[in-house]
Copies of this chain bind each other. A is one copy, B any other.
Amino acid sequence: MHVLLPDGKRLELSAGATGADVAAAIGPGLARAALGIRVDGRLRDLQSEVDGGATVAILTSRDAEVIELMRHTLAHVLAQAVREHLVAEGAAPGDVRMGIGPTIEHGFYYDFDLPRSLTPDDLEQIEVRMRAIVAADLPLGRFTLPRVEALERYRTQGDPYKTELIEDLPEGETISFYRQGAEEGVGFTDLCRGPHVPRTGVLPPHFKLTTLAGAYWRGDESRPMLQRIYGVAFTSAEALEEHLWRVDEAKRRDHRKLGAELDIFVLDEDIGPGLPLWLPRGAIMVEEIERLAKEVEARGGYQRVRSPHLSKEQLFLKSGHLPYYEHDMFPAMVLDDVKYYVKPMNCPFHHKIFAARPRSYRDLPLRLAEYGTCYRYEDHGALMGLLRVRSMQMNDAHIYCTPEQFEAEFLKVIGLYLEYFELFGIDSYVMRFSKHAPEGLGKKYVDEGELWRSTEDMVRRALVAGDVSFYEADDEAAFYGPKIDVQIKSAIGREFTLATNQVDFVQPGRFDLHYVDEHGERKTPLCIHRAPLSTHERMVGFLIEHYGGDFPLWLAPEQVRIVPIADRHLPYADEVAEALRAVGLRAEVDGGNDRMNAKVRAAELYKVPYIAVVGDKEHDARTVSFRSRREEARNGIDLEAFTSHLREQVATRASNVTPIA
C-alpha cells in the first residue's frame, strides 16, 4: 500500500498504517510535532488508518485547521472537568450525564444533565480543572465496540442520552469512542466519531468558558432542558483577546442595546413584532438619511413620487407578486368584496406612474424615487431589532431606460453605492451577482429562460465594463430578474445584505409599459430597481453598530449639549443654543438641577458629540469651552468660530474632523 504526500511524493506503507505511521515514515521530528492529518482534504486524527492511494498531509501547530481538532478535544476536556467538579462535591459519577459536545465557530460547547444548576462561579472552577487536565498531558486513545456492546455499556450506566444517540445509528455499525487517560476508568471516555489531537498536553492555553445556557435535548421543546457550557479557543493569546474584545464590543455596540439607551427606537407588544416606533432621536436620524438620499437623487436626475401603502389584489396579480411572492406578504383585507393587500414592494405603483402618461424616448431614462414603506411577513423567529423587521421604509427607485441606456444607468447605480460607502466609511463590502437557476423557471422565477440568460449577460458585461469587483451566485435572483446584492460587514463583523440592485425584464411588459422611440415605434423599457441606502430600519441599525452610537455630527440626533456652570449662566446658555439653532444645528440646554459634572456625564452617556460648558468667563468673552467625542477639548473658543466649525462639519457630512483652529 502507498499514500501520496502533498508534494506528490509516493510513500510506501504496510497495510493498516495510521496517520502517526505516515508522520514517522517521513521523519522523527514531524512525528513529534504531528497533531492530526488531512486525508484527501478531510480532517482526521493521527490514530486513524489511512486508505491506500489517498493524499495525506501531516498537520502541526502551524496549520490553521488543527484548531478544529483542539476545540473538539477541549469539549471532551470540559466534560471530564465537569464530571470531576461535581464528583468532588459528592455527586455520583452516574448522575453527571452528557448530551453532545461539538465544535462551533470560535469554539465548542457541551450539554449536561446535572444534579444541580451551575453558576458562573462553577465555570471558573471548571476552567481551572480543564487547565489541570491539559497540564496532565493525558493521551487520547480511540477504540471501537460493536453496536450491541456500545449500547450495553451505556444501558448499564443508565445513561439515556448516549443510549439514544447509539440507537439512532444504523444496525451493525461499529461505534467509536475516545478515551483520555491511560486506562479505562481514569480520565474520561466518550462516545465520539473524532477527530482529536493525540494528547491533552498539546492543547493551547488560549481557551475560555464563556457562557452557560439552557438547551433542550436535541433542540426539542418536549425533551429535557440540559445545561450547555460554551467555550472559545484559539491558537494564540492575541486571537483569543481579539475575539473576546469583539464579542464584548458587539454587545456594547448592539443596536438593540444602544437603540434603547440612546432613545432611538422601541418595539411595543401591542403594536406587534418587527414594527418599530421611531422615537424623536431616531426620527431625526431617519430624516437626515432621507435628506441625504433626496439631495443625491436630485443631483442624479431622479424625480420623487408618492404612492399609497395598499392596493387592490389585481395590481399584485399583474405584477406577479401574488403568485411568486405571496408567502412574504401580509394577508389580504376584504373591502367591498375586493381583496386589498399592504404593499411588499413599491415597484407596481411606480410602473403605474410610468403608465399614467404617454412616454417618449426623450423622457428616458425616467427615474422615479420614493421612500416608500413596505410591509413583509418575516417569520417571528427571524425578526431582530431593526435589522430584521416587518415594516421597511425603503430607499427605493425605479429607473426606466432603453437597452442602449442600460449599461450607463446600471453603472451609475453602482457608483451611488460606492459614494455612500465612502461617506459612511464602509470599506468591507462584496457585490454578489445573483442569478436564476434554470430548474426554478416557472416556480421561483418567471418562465422566460432566454430573457434570463440575455439579461444576465447584459449585467455581467456592465459589471466587467465598469471594472466592478463581484462574484456570481446561482439561484439567488428576484423572481423578475437578476440582481446585485451588496453585502457589507459592520465594524463588529456582522455581515448582511445592505441593499440590492435589480434588473427587471418582466414587469414592464406585464404592465404594458411602453415609450415611442426615435422612429415612432412602441418599445418596452427596461427597469432597474435599486435601494442603495437600504431601508431606514436596516440602515439605522447598521449605523448604530458601525459607529457604536458615536455618530458623525450631521447624523447625531443631538449635536450640542450646553451646560451652564451655575444657574446664573442659564441665559447665556440659551443664547448659545439659539445661535447654534439659528444655523440649523440641534442644540439643547441642560437647565436641570444636577451639578455641572453630572450634566457633562449625562451628555457623554448620551454620546452627544459636543458638550459646551459656559460660565462667567465664557459669558463675558462670548465664547464656549467644549469637550467633544470627536476632537480635543478646548476652552474659550469664540462662539461664532464654534458655530462655523460645527456647521462646516454638518454641511460636508464629515466623518473625520479637522480640529478647530
Q: Is A158 an interface residue, CB under 8 A from the partner?
A: no
Specify the main secondary structure of chain A where it touches its partner: mixed
Contact B333–A272 (Cβ < 8 Å): no
Option from B334, B335, B391 in Cβ contact (under 8 Å) with A308: B391
A437 at the interface (CB under 8 A from B): no
Q: Judge whether A283 is part of the interface by a CB distance below 8 angstroms.
A: yes
Q: Which stretch from A223-231, A242-250, A262-270 is at the chain B interface? A: A262-270
What distance in Å separates the Cβ of A315 from its nearest Cβ neighbour in chain B? 4
Within 8 A of B (CB), among A323-371: 330-336, 338, 340, 342, 349, 352-353, 356-357, 362, 368, 370
- Pick from B277, B312, B362: contact of A305, CB below 8 A: B277
In the assembly, how many copies of this chain are there? 2
Q: Which of B286, B306, B312 contacts A272 (CB 8 A)?
A: B312
Query: Quick check: is A13 within 8 A (CB to CB) of the other chain?
Result: no
Residue pair B309, A391 in contact (C-beta under 8 Å): yes
Chain A residues 266 to 321 lying within 8 A of chain B, measured CB to CB, are 266, 268, 270-272, 275-280, 282-284, 286-287, 303-312, 314-315, 318
Q: What residues of chain B lie closer than 8 Å to A318, measured between beta carbons? A: 270
Complex CA gap A338/B272 in Å reads 9
> A466 to chain B: closest CB distance in Å?
27
Q: Mark A115-136, 1 if CB is under 8 A from B, else 0.
A: 0000000000000000000000
Q: Which residues of B contact A395 (CB under 8 A)?
A: none
Number of interface residues of A (CB under 8 A): 55
**Cβ-neighbour of A283 out of B275, B305, B349 (below 8 A):** B305
The reply to whether the CB of A380 lies closer than 8 angstroms to some CB of chain B is yes
| Residue of B whose beta carbon sits closest to that of A278 | B306
Contacts of A266 in B (CB 8 A): 352-353, 356
Q: Which residue of the partner chain, among B271, B283, B305, B338, contacts A278 with CB atoms under 8 Å?
A: B305
| Identity of the chain B residue whose Cβ is nearest the Cβ of A370 in the assembled complex | B283
Asked if B349 contacts A309 (CB within 8 A), the reply is no
Q: Which residues of B contact A370 (CB under 8 A)?
A: 283
Task: Tell whether, in the assembled complex, residue B349 and residue A380 are in contact, meaning their CB atoms are under 8 Å apart.
Answer: no
Chain B residues, Cβ within 8 Å of A284: 304
- Determine if A315 and B276 form an interchain contact, defined as CB atoms under 8 angstroms apart: no
Whether A417 is near chain B, meaning CB under 8 Å from some CB there, is: no
A189 interfacial contact with B, CB 8 Å? no
A480: chain B residues within 8 A (beta carbon): none
List, in ascending order, chain B residues with CB within 8 A of A393's CB: 306
Name A436-451 residues within 8 Å CB distance of B: none
| CA A377 to CA B310, docked complex, whole Å | 13
* B333-A332 in contact (CB<8A): yes
- In the complex, the chain B residue whose C-beta lies closest to that of A391 is B308
Q: Which residues of B contact A305 (CB under 8 A)?
A: 277-280, 283
| Chain B residue nearest in CB terms to A367 | B280
Q: Chain B contacts of A356 at CB under 8 A?
A: 266, 268, 277, 279
Tell me the bound Cα distance from A349 to B268 in angstroms. 9
* Inter-subunit contact B270/A308 (CB<8 Å): no
> Please, how many angstroms separate the alpha-carbon atoms of A310 and B310 in the complex?
11
Task: Say yes or no: B336 contacts A330, CB within 8 Å.
Answer: no
Establish whether residues B312 and A277, one from each chain, have CB atoms under 8 Å apart when the complex forms: no
Check if A330 sits within 8 Å of B333, measured CB to CB.
yes
A-B contact pairs, 6 of them (CB 8 A): A270-B352, A272-B310, A279-B356, A310-B330, A310-B391, A330-B335
Query: Which 5 A-B pairs rank lowest in CB-CB distance, beginning with the nearest?
Result: A280-B303, A278-B306, A275-B308, A308-B391, A283-B304
- Other 4 A-B pairs with CB < 8 A, given A310-B342, A333-B333: A271-B315, A275-B308, A277-B353, A330-B333
